[in-house]
Chain A
């Protein structure tokens, strides 16, 4: 499940219920949060444990891999 390659998360806001479970499980340092109390979606996550995807009650978090030399 875990990938070492950094990822950027994408949240399907239509199904998001702002429950905060993704932030609660996130092992990132303080501040890896969006203004809507979800995990951050505007920068890469280098841990890429994907626990946020598995805890999401509405299964609305996905990710794409950050391409090498791509934006961070």
Chain B
């Protein structure tokens, strides 16, 4: 007989590993698989995450993955005028690097972060297999499902009550179930970033708006630890005839930061697709749920997805522990809908609201009007009094 689990999770990123860690701690038997040899690589993420997001799901603030602490934000308009939100000045008793003070968030190394999260899951009792890809799944008559895997070229079938698709933006698991996962070209930003030497930063996440630099998206300069910085941008393909690479080159050489960047040396090249889109309308099917980027749990204003993956992962685990504790309970789609209901209530409704805010910005046809609107929206979003601080 095939090996049996309560949960099989495909993809060991922040979402998958967090589902696994909480589910195993709650007594479920869990298999977590990832096709990679090194989690988090190649890096497709800027790595910014709030301290609150880590503490909320019990992730220790460990030097193993933290590259640099963050104390606030700087939002720039196209010409370089900035709104600075530095918590070291706003709340100097609370935020800072001195004793008794703390950072607002961190830039993490996704390679070390993802490995750390898998280690935490493994220590909580999760069985973890690297170099293992998912090939498909099939519900079975006993109310469970078979999951077809390939591990170091060997085909293996395991049986599980629920399959958790945590396989990222490129998710295949959602497609297996026939879920509507397709993302619109107007809502996926093509992103490129360079890790660079010789660019000064000051503990702030810097966000540069303006059609001139990043049509449909924004550019960023983040501190990256060891004196390095990360310069990147994302563009919406329908709003430009050029690639992200072309725009990044222009941003570095021609923007109001060209003097600041003139001695920069590129140490690493990274890229990815970042959804500036709504969550999936249906994130469950028979014996299956989706979490993290695979469910498009990504902030549509910032493109940030670590916080939403962690908190959504914990929420999924809590639902599954509760649901599977009932003897003989069904794992048909209608029964797993409760997961999505819980998620909408805790996080999703706010993400939908953010999506509508973002859509209003990009429906402005006039470019200067849109630029002004985006700058204002970003400045409001990061304002200390923003209602979205915790998304």
Contact = CB atoms under 8 A, between A and B. Distances in A.
A19 B272 contact: yes
Contact of A25 (B183, B191, B245): B183
A36 to B, nearest CB: 10
Contacts of A56: 190, 243
Contacts of B243: 56-59
B192 interface: yes
Interface extent on A, as a size class?
20 to 34
Contacts of A46: none
Interface in A5-37: 17-21, 23-25, 27, 29-31, 33, 37
Given A20-B44, A21-B190, A57 B271 contact: yes
B37 to A, nearest CB: 13
B156 interface: no
A37 to B, nearest CB: 7
A23 B44 CA distance: 13
B246 interface: yes
B245 A24 contact: no
Contacts of A37: 170
B42 A23 contact: no
A18 B103 CA distance: 32
Given A24-B170, A30-B176, A54 B185 contact: yes
Instruction: Report whether over half of chain A's contact residues are helix, strand or loop; otherwise say mixed.
Output: loop
A24 B271 contact: no
Given A33-B172, A58-B192, A21 B272 contact: yes
Given A57-B245, A59-B246, A25 B273 contact: yes
Interface string A42-54: 0000000001001
B42 A54 contact: no
A57 to B, nearest CB: 4
Contacts of A30: 136, 172, 175-176
A57 B44 CA distance: 12
Interface of A: 17-21, 23-25, 27, 29-31, 33, 37, 51, 54-59
